């Protein structure tokens, strides 16, 4: 029983972080209709920012407030100069934007590899290893802080999307781009801001993950895949869904790791992904209608 | 006859090439080029003509390669049987996948192919008893000389281009294009789009699988990360298609030639140009540039992806009129 509870706790804590990764992806997905396959790589970049800052003695949770604006600006630049020009280009294939994000991901990974080499780095803090025991179940302090901050960011994001003008414009663009344009929303600017926001959110996830994980250039790929599974699980463009999706993936992974073996961790995620596509196309969004 | 003229001249040159070029290094590059022609043409049918972009060509490539490798590993037969069966195995994997996943459209299908590749790679890694896992499969190459491989690859490349030409000028070929242009319109005209998309996928999987079997025979070694590689196989296949020209018959051949050259250029530091210059001028910095360039070859590759999509979204063959106009100041019609 303890093992089971421990697995659940680990899964939910991890799920909070996954939700943060997924929300960034789902925002971009909803507004632009494309999957950002450089998402994990952006997170990897944020982790390296945290790593460099931690070498200078800055705490990862303070580095968060430096990495987020940096990645926001990078996201804005990517959308403005690399992705938006593609909308106008006349081409047979509409998937050019997706392919472009793959290219961007490769470039980011390789630049980082070039500067920092492929070595595994770690951001060590005093609380990286600390755990709290509740009965026989251990709670990692770093993961708990990450979970709380992730929840806070999600709340702020909700408030932003529901209550502010900019948030409403973003939702309007996601629902119907043409109608939004007719209502006077500058949709070009909205896509740029959304990509920036998505990058900023994933940067936050990166900073929170840095103290409990290794930092290496190839980290991006698997996390892009995870973000993409979360988005599909939750329903494309749904923020609530992304939270559900994140927690589900976190739970599934830790259950799979405990009861099947570590090497099956990734397969469990992909299997759920395919099952959802088959039996619940549209993801949890279909059930919650949000 | 005129429209066959350039390809035939080119074919003649390629046929005679091994007689002139004895250097194994360049023959190796040519074999890779011919293999990419096969994969690129296959990708072009499913993506360029049918409009279903596949991000997971490596899945089929790996199926073919593993078919050849496992046949020789477990049954002790010649891995060349892989050429006969690899394509069918890849198509057998592709068909049920297509049956399920062609319900999704556009980018979603592309992502599903990505997932297929991930799943196959994980399976190949975990099923150690059957596939050898991360250790991979090693076989003895049948020939020491590269020339037999060269002609086999050439035969495959020619066959794949010929069959692509035949397919796109046949009735299903026109169905494919109609699906790309407007799936709903095609459906309303009575085309069974699901069936034809699956046919197109089966064709692409078949040829990609054969190319994979050739790779196994030629290289003699595979492991899950080599043949199910996203960057080295899937993305490369897309680039070959896009650089050459999406939805053109000869585009992938042009794209394959350029991409293999460019990839090798980055890998070898512009064919040792900088190293040579450095040695010539005795300057340390140029030699250093050579080393840096070689280290950064994947970076150069990634930048290339970005630049190609920005500047040539329809590829060299597809954007040829535009290039002529811009570069040579000629009118497209002239």
Distances (CA, A) of B34 to B94, B221, B229: 23, 19, 19
Tell me: do B105 and B164 sit in the same domain: yes
Contacts of B101 in chain A (CB under 8 A): 277
pTM of the complete model: 0.80
CB B28 within 8 A of CB B232: no
Does the distance separating the beta carbons of B104 and A92 come in below 8 Å?
no
In chain B (334 residues long), the average pLDDT of successive 10-residue segments reads 70 76 82 91 89 87 90 82 87 89 78 83 82 79 81 90 90 90 88 90 92 89 84 82 83 87 76 66 68 71 80 76 72 46
Helix pair angle (B171-181, B147-168), 10° resolution? 70
List, for residues A24-78, the tens digit of each pLDDT value: 888 888 777 777 888 999 999 999 999 999 888 888 888 888 999 999 999 999 8
Bridge partners of residue A214, in order along the sequence: A122
Does the distance separating the beta carbons of B247 and A92 come in below 8 Å?
yes
CB B305 within 8 A of CB A106: yes
Q: Which two tokens stand for residue B299?
A: 């970076």
The pLDDT of residue B60 is 93
CB atoms within 10 A of CB B277: 15
Tell me: do B195 and B282 sit in the same domain: no
The pLDDT of residue A289 is 55
**Maximum CA pair distance of chain B?**
71
Query: Can you tell me which residue has the tokens 């930048």?
Result: B303
At residue B133, the 3 state secondary structure works out as: helix
Does the distance separating the beta carbons of B298 and A92 come in below 8 Å?
no
B1 in any annotated domain:
no
B154 in any annotated domain:
yes
B261 in any annotated domain:
no
Q: Is the pLDDT of residue A174 over 90?
A: no
Tell me: do B204 and B312 sit in the same domain: no
Does the distance separating the beta carbons of A85 and B246 come in below 8 Å?
no
The pLDDT of residue A36 is 83
The pLDDT of residue B205 is 93
At residue B287, the 3 state secondary structure works out as: helix
Closest CA to B114 of B60, B62, B63, B55: B55
CB B319 within 8 A of CB B327: no
The pLDDT of residue B211 is 92
Q: Half-sphere exposure (CA, 13 Å, Cβ side) for B220?
A: 8
Q: Say what the ipTM of the complex is.
A: 0.72
The pLDDT of residue B88 is 92
Compute the mean pLDDT over every residue in chain A, rounded to the nearest whole number.
Answer: 83
Does the distance separating the beta carbons of A95 and B107 come in below 8 Å?
yes
Tell me: do B202 and B83 sit in the same domain: yes
List, for residues A249-284, the tens digit of each pLDDT value: 888 888 888 887 777 777 777 777 777 777 776 667
Helix H or strand E segment including A73: helix A60-77
The pLDDT of residue B274 is 66
Tell me: do B93 and B177 sit in the same domain: yes
B255 in any annotated domain:
no
Q: With the C-alpha atoms ordered A137, A138, A141, A147, is the resulting torsion angle positive or negative?
A: negative
CA distance A110 to chain B (A): 5
Does the distance separating the beta carbons of A106 and B301 come in below 8 Å?
yes
Contacts of B301 in chain A (CB under 8 A): 106
The residue range of the domain holding B128 is 23-249
Tell me: do B195 and B51 sit in the same domain: yes
The pLDDT of residue B2 is 59
Search chain A and give the residue with CA nearest B319. A91
Helix H or strand E segment including B40: helix B24-43
Domain count, chain B: 2
Tell me: do B228 and B137 sit in the same domain: yes
Confidence at A106, pLDDT banded by 50, 70, 90 = confident
B11 in any annotated domain:
no
Closest CA to A264 of B106, B125, B325: B125
The pLDDT of residue B333 is 46
Tell me: do B146 and B219 sit in the same domain: yes
CB A195 within 8 A of CB A78: yes
The pLDDT of residue A43 is 92
CB atoms within 10 A of CB B306: 18
List, for residues A156-167, the tens digit of each pLDDT value: 888 888 889 998
Contact residues of A toward B, CB < 8 A: 33-35, 82, 85-86, 89-96, 98-100, 102-107, 109-111, 113-114, 221, 225, 228, 232, 263-264, 266-267, 270, 273-274, 277-278, 281
Q: What is the average pLDDT across A203-214?
A: 87
Q: Which of B106, B295, B303 sits opposite A95 (nearest CB)?
A: B106
Tell me: do B243 and B105 sit in the same domain: yes
Q: Work out the burial of residue A178: count CB atoms within 10 Å of its CB; fewer than 13 is exposed, 13-18 middle, 19 or more buried.
A: exposed
Does the distance separating the beta carbons of A228 and B306 come in below 8 Å?
no
Closest CA to A31 of A82, A97, A96, A77: A97
Tell me: do B238 and B202 sit in the same domain: yes
DSSP assignments along A159-188, one per residue: HHHHHSHHHHHHHHHHH-HHHHHHTT--HH
Q: Is the pLDDT of residue A212 over 50?
A: yes
Contacts of B48 in chain A (CB under 8 A): 92-93
Contact residues of B toward A, CB < 8 A: 47-48, 51, 53, 55, 100-101, 103-104, 106-107, 110-112, 114-115, 118-119, 122-123, 125-126, 180, 230-231, 235, 238, 242, 246-247, 295-296, 298-299, 301-306, 309-310, 313-314, 318
Tell me: do B239 and B298 sit in the same domain: no
Alpha-helical (H) ranges within A183-284 are 187-209, 220-234, 239-259, 265-279
**Which of B224, B291, B305, B307 is best to mutate for the A interface (most A CBs within 10 A)?**
B305
Tell me: do B193 and B311 sit in the same domain: no
CA distance B22 to chain A (A): 35
B2 in any annotated domain:
no
B95 in any annotated domain:
yes
């Amino acid at each position: 029983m303890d093992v089971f509870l421990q697995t659940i706790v680990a899964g939910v804590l991890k799920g909070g972080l996954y939700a943060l990764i997924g929300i960034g992806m789902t925002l971009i997905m909803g507004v632009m209709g494309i999957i950002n396959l450089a998402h994990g790589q952006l997170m990897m970049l944020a982790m390296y920012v945290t790593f460099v800052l931690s070498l200078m003695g800055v705490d990862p949770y303070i580095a968060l407030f430096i990495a987020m604006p940096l990645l926001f600006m990078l996201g804005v630049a990517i959308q403005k100069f690399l992705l938006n020009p593609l909308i106008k280009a006349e081409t047979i294939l509409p998937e050019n934007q997706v392919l472009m994000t793959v290219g961007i991901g490769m470039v980011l990974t390789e630049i980082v590899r070039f500067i920092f080499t492929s070595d595994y780095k770690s951001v060590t803090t005093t609380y990286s290893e600390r755990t709290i025991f509740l009965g026989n179940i251990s709670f990692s302090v770093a993961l708990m802080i990450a979970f709380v901050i992730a929840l806070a960011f999600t709340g702020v994001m909700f408030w932003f999307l529901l209550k502010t003008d900019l948030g409403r414009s973003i939702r309007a663009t996601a629902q119907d781009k043409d109608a939004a344009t007719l209502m006077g929303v500058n949709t070009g600017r909205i896509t740029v801001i959304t990509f920036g926001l998505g990058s900023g959110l994933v940067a936050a996830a990166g900073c929170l993950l840095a103290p409990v994980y290794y930092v290496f250039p190839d980290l991006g790929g698997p996390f892009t895949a995870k973000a993409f599974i979360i988005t599909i699980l939750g329903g494309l463009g749904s923020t609530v869904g992304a939270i559900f999706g994140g927690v589900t993936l976190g739970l599934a992974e830790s259950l799979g790791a405990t009861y099947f073996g570590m090497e099956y961790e990734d397969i469990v995620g992909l299997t759920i992904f395919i099952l959802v596509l088959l039996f619940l196309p549209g993801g949890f969004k279909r059930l919650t209608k949000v | 006859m005129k429209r066959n003229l350039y390809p035939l001249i080119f074919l003649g040159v390629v046929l005679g090439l091994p007689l002139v070029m004895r250097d194994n290094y360049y023959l190796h590059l040519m074999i890779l080029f011919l293999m990419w022609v096969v994969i690129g043409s296959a990708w072009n049918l499913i993506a360029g003509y049918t409009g279903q972009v596949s991000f997971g060509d490596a899945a089929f490539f790996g199926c073919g390669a593993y078919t050849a490798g496992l046949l020789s590993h477990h049954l002790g037969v010649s891995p060349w049987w892989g050429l006969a069966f690899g394509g069918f195995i890849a198509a057998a994997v592709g068909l049920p996948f297509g049956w399920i996943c062609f319900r999704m459209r556009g980018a979603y299908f592309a992502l599903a192919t990505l997932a297929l590749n991930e799943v196959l790679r994980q399976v190949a890694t975990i099923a150690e008893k059957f596939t050898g896992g991360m250790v991979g499969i090693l076989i003895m190459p049948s020939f020491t000389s590269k020339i037999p491989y060269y002609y086999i690859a050439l035969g495959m490349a020619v066959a794949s281009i010929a069959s692509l030409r035949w397919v796109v000028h046949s009735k299903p070929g026109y169905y494919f294009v109609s699906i790309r242009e407007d799936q709903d319109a095609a459906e309303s005209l009575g085309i069974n789009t699901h069936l034809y998309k699956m046919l197109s996928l089966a064709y692409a999987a078949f040829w990609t699988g054969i190319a994979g079997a050739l790779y196994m025979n030629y290289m003699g070694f595979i492991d899950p990360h080599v043949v199910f590689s996203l960057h080295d196989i899937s993305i490369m296949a897309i680039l070959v298609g896009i650089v050459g020209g999406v939805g053109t018959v000869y585009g992938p051949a042009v794209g394959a030639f350029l991409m293999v050259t460019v990839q090798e250029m980055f890998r070898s530091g512009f064919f040792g140009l900088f190293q040579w210059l450095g040695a010539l001028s005795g300057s340390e910095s140029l030699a250093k540039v050579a080393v840096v360039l070689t280290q950064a070859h994947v970076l150069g590759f990634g930048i290339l992806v970005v630049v190609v999509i920005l500047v040539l979204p329809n590829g060299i063959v597809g954007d040829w009129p535009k290039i002529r106009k811009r570069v040579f100041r000629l009118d497209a019609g002239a």
